[in-house]
Amino acid sequence: MNNKAMLNAYPDSLGGRLNQAAAVLEKPEFRDAFRSFYILPSVFHSDLDRGFSVISYELNRSLADEDSLERLKALGLDLKMDFVLNHVSVLSPQFQDLLRQGEQSPYRDFFIDWNRFWEGHGQMTAEGYIQPDQELIQSMFFRKPGLPILMVRLPDGRDVPYWNTFYQEVRYPALTAPMLMNRLGLQYQEAVKIAARFNAAVNSSTPFEEISLDELEPYRGQTTALLQEKREYLGQMDLNIRSPLVWEYYRDTLMKLAAYGAAIVRLDAFAYAPKAPGRHNFLNDPETWELLEEVKGLAQPLGLSLLPEIHSSYAEGIHCKLSHKGYLTYDFFLPGLLIDAIERADASYLVSWAREIRKNKMKVVNMLGCHDGIPLLDLKGLLPDERIQELIDLVISRGGMVKNLHGQKNVYYQVNATYYSALGEDDRKMLLARMIQLFMPGTPQVWYLDLFAGRNDLEAVALSGSAGHKEINRTNLTMEQIDAALTTKIVQDQLSALKAYNQCMAFDPDGQMHIEMKQADQLVITWEKQQKTARLVANLSTLSFQASMDTSAGAFVLQQD
């Protein structure tokens, strides 16, 4: 992969479709500002989680087509795309085949039958699933309360539990009087009464056994069976990596991504894929590393670089393990360290981290904002706990939102906010943060909304319901909004700096980097290679800086007084 600046956006983030995004990148203001483009997975045929519940890796026809990919490649852009290793949508062809054919489906073992997995390691419940032995399950990590299962109705009438780590929803159709008359032999008024009571129960999430049917009680079982037969599902089903068909699916997907023009494949949810009774079932060691090596064996002949995505605290050292094993690594520490440095006018922790990256020869992709949030708890072990909490409180005070798991604030990954709002919507802070990012080790990934100094979108959050916190930083921009933003200094300066960065040989990964502090608030970073130099002198107290770069087009200087 190249180490030049990478744009990060959804296919509909810039203008509404990927073709419009290509048109934006063809504008003179954008030419040469980016050398790669991370397109988030709603570019694929998907349903939930804005793309991360993949139905298939065919292009999403409502947002993208082959022509739009060709336009991006014509600009010289490498593409970065997602591959979700742990799960697929319940609407995937494989899972839908299982629903249709049950035991006769070739995909019977493509997914994880909970009872087969736990056979001999627990007790069967009246509900039809095995409750694992307590000593085997007590240390397991689950993303949601309760056991991670979805009860699936197969054609033979059995409810079979399948492993479901992430989202699930069961939907029942609305009953009609004709439907019940034809199926149960009811008279019209009887059918109307039963349909009304069952439909009300579905709408209020009342268990079917609690519905009052009076003289029509004999029809409860048949009506319930009809509803269960016709129920539909939403969600993501975990894949059984012991199945040869899953590995065929992995290979075929990587080939498809390479054909689209991908150079980097971001591996999402890979740490959940290896499972074993009694294990943590998140980043199992050595099984997770064995999985990654097998996937790498499929990817390398296709010219694909892998970027495994995982959130963990600095103290756990997972980033080091990934790096030592030769993988690209996300620098999830930089976003919080930069806010800390700018708000406190103290670069000491930032400098220490930069030196550690260089000392350990880590290949990182860094960022400010992204499609999720600002990962502040990743800093545990790198920043003092009280300093992390102050960062969290600060971002929330500026309109950020906390994502919890199980309602516990000690297990969320990030605070959801735009980076611009997290910095107090201050243009000077935003530009200083961007310049420091460019001078830090690694490949700079740029979230499109940061580039346009996007503010927290609280209206989008309100429209998205209880799970809409991420929409705070996912505003789709119209072409008119983009054109207006291109006239602003904060956008123009960032684009100018990105172009110069891409044209400066000094930033090559094997260039020499020197970073120092004259005082806690005075940062100096220098890169050198083959007599080409890039230098940043910044004062965190005054937010002033001077950046100079020797580029192929000549000397570039940008300063903020």
Set 12, 47, 82, 309: catalytic member: 309
Nearest-angstrom CA–CA distance, 54 and 36? 23
Bond before 286 cis per omega within 30 degrees: yes
Strand runs labelled E in 224-280:
232-238, 262-268
d(CA 81, CA 150): 29
Residues near 422 by Cβ (< 8 Å), separated by ≥ 6? 339, 374, 394, 395, 398, 400, 415
What is the C-alpha separation between 548 and 525, in angstroms, rounded?
11
Which pairs count as long-range contacts for 327-332, CB under 8 Å and 24+ apart, including other chains? 327/292, 327/363, 328/1, 328/264, 328/363, 328/364, 328/365, 329/362, 329/363, 329/364, 329/365, 330/364, 330/365, 330/366, 330/367, 331/357, 331/364, 331/365, 331/366, 331/367, 331/440, 331/442, 332/375, 332/378
Give the C-alpha separation, 480 to 503, whole Å.
Answer: 29
Q: Taking a C-beta distance cutoff of 8 angstroms, is the pair 199, 206 a contact?
A: no
**Identity of the amino acid at 287:** E
Find residue 331's DSSP bridge partners.
Answer: 366
CA neighbor of 438 nearest in space, from 534, 511, 297, 541? 534
CA-closest candidate to residue 327, choices 308, 309, 299, 340: 308
Q: Which amino acid would we find at residue 419? A: Y
Collapse the DSSP code of 328 into the 3-class scheme (helix H, G, I; strand E, B; otherwise coil) and give the result.
Answer: coil
Q: Across-strand partners of 367?
A: 445
Query: What's the number of CA atoms in the CB half-sphere (13 Å) around residue 305?
Result: 16
Cβ proximity of 270 and 85 under 8 Å: yes
Taking the C-alpha atoms of residue 499 and residue 184, their distance in angstroms, rounded to an integer, is 70
The enclosing H or E element of 401 equals strand 401-402
Q: How would you label 545-559 residue by residue, b for 16+ Cβ within 10 Å and e otherwise? A: bebbbbbeeeebebe
Q: Is 268 part of the annotated catalytic residue set? A: yes
Alpha carbons 243 and 277: distance in angstroms, whole number: 17
Residue of 268, 331, 340, 493 with catalytic role: 268
What are the residue ranges of helices labelled H in 366-488? Answer: 385-397, 419-422, 427-439, 448-451, 458-463, 479-485
Half-sphere exposure of 66 (CA within 13 A, CB side): 3
Q: How far apart are CA 198 and CA 226, in angstroms?
A: 11
Catalytic-residue membership of 309: yes
Q: Which residues are catalytic?
A: 268, 309
